A = this chain, B = another copy of it.
Amino acid sequence: MTKPNKRDEIVRSALELIAEHGFHGAPMAMVAERAGVAAGTIYRYFENKDVLIKELYQELENKMYPFIMDGYAAEAPFRVRFFHLWTALMRYFIQYPLDFRYLEQFRNSPYGVASRRDKILGNDAGRCDVFRELLEQGAAQQVVKDLPLILLFSISFGPLLAVTRDHILGFVQLDDTMIERTIEACWDAVKR
- A residues with CB within 8 A of B: 22, 24, 104-105, 108-110, 113, 116-117, 120, 145-148, 150-151, 153-155, 157-163, 165-166, 169, 171-172, 178, 181-182, 184-186, 188-191
Contacts and interface: CB of A to CB of B under 8 A. Distances in A.
A163 B109 CA distance: 17
A109 B159 contact: no
A172 B148 contact: yes
Given A109-B22, A188-B189, A154 B165 contact: yes
B150 A158 contact: no
B113 A169 contact: yes
A164 to B, nearest CB: 9
A23 B145 CA distance: 37
A172 B150 contact: yes
A86 to B, nearest CB: 13
A157 B161 CA distance: 11
Contact of A154 (B113, B117, B146, B166): B166
A165 B104 CA distance: 14
